[in-house]
Structure 1
Amino acid sequence: MSKVAFITGASRGIGRETALAFARAGFDLAISARSLDEGESHRHGLRNPDGTALPGSLNGTAAAIRELGRKARVVPMDLLDSESVLAASEAVFAEYGRVDVLVNNAIYQGSDLNLPFMELQPETLQRVFQGYVLTPFLLTRAVVARMLEQGGGVVINVTSGAGETDPPVAAGKGGWGYAYGAGKAAVSRLSGILSIELGEQGIRAYTLNPGVVTTEALLATIGDKGVIALRAGSAPPEVPAAVMLWLATNEAARDYQRQTIHCQPFAREHGIVADWR
């Protein structure tokens, strides 16, 4: 029986590349996001500066997975809709009967996410709570319950430096705001709890900080010139994808729980991506 990886936020960027990395390694995939087809735009979604939707879609990722000879189950999921999250979990288990790896990669990316503190509204924090705390809790609890029945599994939670440190400059001048920092801080705490409480029952859990990654979302946020300026300190999405595959499949990865793994130096130290510097 093939192992199954469930990747959220897999329509583009890190999520898409992670799904493809697992497919190449022989996993069947369940993938979720809001954008089923190319060109869709959503309320509270990130857009290009010209107002168009970011490139990428779940069906596009699924087609690429199938070209690699693996199964792909597309499950639409909106982080701001708890019912869609639980329905997605049920659909995945109905299709495959198991999940061996869950990657919590999807995030709420509304344009209000990094507003300065005095401009921040309670409605934004309510969405952040839904997208960064409640939804990962609901999905992870539903999936881990079945992992415990099958004898174990791996959970990887994708965080950010915004959840671990203060911004270098103010929001609006290139730094992150309180809403995003608070959301990612919550994500950073989940894996350690799972490892401590459920590790003896076969659950392994990791917190991964990808660092600056040149995704479609980054391009939409800072533009071509900004990406060029960051290139020396950034990585393509294939790098965090390869690190997550390593964490999920390498026995030595057990020693890297209960800490934040800083993806790019970690990849170099362990030689995970041989042709990337």
Structure 2
Amino acid sequence: MIDLKGRVAVITGGSRGIGRETALLFAKANSDVAITYRTNDDAANFVVEQIKNMGKRAIAVKGDVSKKSDVQRMVKEIVEYFGKIDILVNNAGIWTYGAIGEMPEEVWDETIDVNLKSVYLFTNEVVPIMKAQRWGRIINISSTAGQRGEAFHSHYAASKGAIIAFTKSLAVELAKYNILVNCVAPGWVNTDMCAEVFKDPNFVEQVKSTIPLGRIPEPKEIAGPILFLASELANWITGATISVNGGSVLCG
């Protein structure tokens, strides 16, 4: 039912985890796809090859999503390759430990820059393109941490909470241009970001005990709601945050 034929989607942090599964799912739905990545050439090229094997156009652009010059260059490369950008998924992010009172300033700054500033930078570059074509879909990836907070990860929670507020603000600002802006807020997901803490089986069981559905999801289970928000099925949704967390955080 979902068909993104003729659309061009940009997915930041698209070489692994939620970003990778989103890129592949968008391609299955007939979208051409650009992914951004920072370091792992092999992982990025693998995603591009998989998409091309589905008969869709794909490109991977390398750079630092927290640096304006890199973002401007990446967006330019994507537009030169595809001619336009219809869908932007702001997915790139990091998650690190930081107890307040002990957290170095550089740890705070890195998290805010990668998780939040990147959303501003990419959106700021892409919105003029979407305004000109009077059509666009922006999906920002937040987190349950941004909805309820997260002890020892206040910098991460702050960045993700700000993304929700940013989403609501832009939804109203951009509605007249037929640009819909929404947010997906996952809980725990079985990704590289969580791999280190998931090495402890006791911690994994503890996490499962907080999730009513009783398990930790795979990245592709987050990609589905992202695709929905990019599709024609979500034409009357803007400014919304969809909680994709197995019932662990119930937000009204």
- Give the TM-score normalised by the residue count of structure 1: 0.79
1:42-83, Cα deviation, whole Å (9 max, x unpaired): xxxxxxxxxxxxxxx211111111111111111112133221
Give the aligned partner of residue 69 of structure 2.
83
| Matches of 1:3 and 1:29, distance apart in 2 | 9
Give the aligned partner of residue 99 of structure 1.
85
Query: Are residues 1:222 and 2:225 paired?
Result: no
Query: Are residues 1:62 and 2:66 paired?
Result: no
Amino acid at match of 1:91: E
CA RMSD of aligned residues (A): 1.9
Post-superposition shift, 1:5?
A: 0.5
Paired residues of 1:156 and 1:207 also in contact (CA < 8 A): yes
| Matches of 2:33 and 2:135, distance apart in 1 | 18
| Matches of 1:94 and 1:128, distance apart in 2 | 30
State the SS of the aligned residue for 1:118: coil
Post-superposition shift, 1:247?
A: 1.2
Task: Give the one of 224, 241, 249 matched to 1:260.
Answer: 241
Post-superposition shift, 1:264?
A: 4.6
Task: Give the one of 100, 103, 128 matched to 2:111.
Answer: 128
Task: Give the one of 9, 13, 26 matched to 1:9.
Answer: 13
Post-superposition shift, 1:11?
A: 1.0
Counterparts of 1:35-184 in structure 2 under 5 Å?
Answer: 35-38=39-42, 57-109=43-95, 113-167=96-150, 170-171=151-152, 177-184=153-160
Give the aligned partner of residue 35 of structure 2.
31
Task: Give the one of 175, 189, 203 matched to 1:213.
Answer: 189
State the SS of the aligned residue for 1:119: coil
| Matches of 1:211 and 1:129, distance apart in 2 | 19
- Give the TM-score normalised by the residue count of structure 2: 0.87
How many residue pairs end up in the alignment? Answer: 237
Report percent identity of matched pairs.
Answer: 31
| Matches of 1:212 and 1:161, distance apart in 2 | 8
| Matches of 2:200 and 2:224, distance apart in 1 | 25
| Matches of 2:72 and 2:204, distance apart in 1 | 36
Paired residues of 1:79 and 1:108 also in contact (CA < 8 A): no
| Matches of 1:119 and 1:107, distance apart in 2 | 22
Post-superposition shift, 1:108?
A: 3.2
Post-superposition shift, 1:230?
A: 4.3
Does 218-227 or 116-125 show the bigger shift? Answer: 218-227
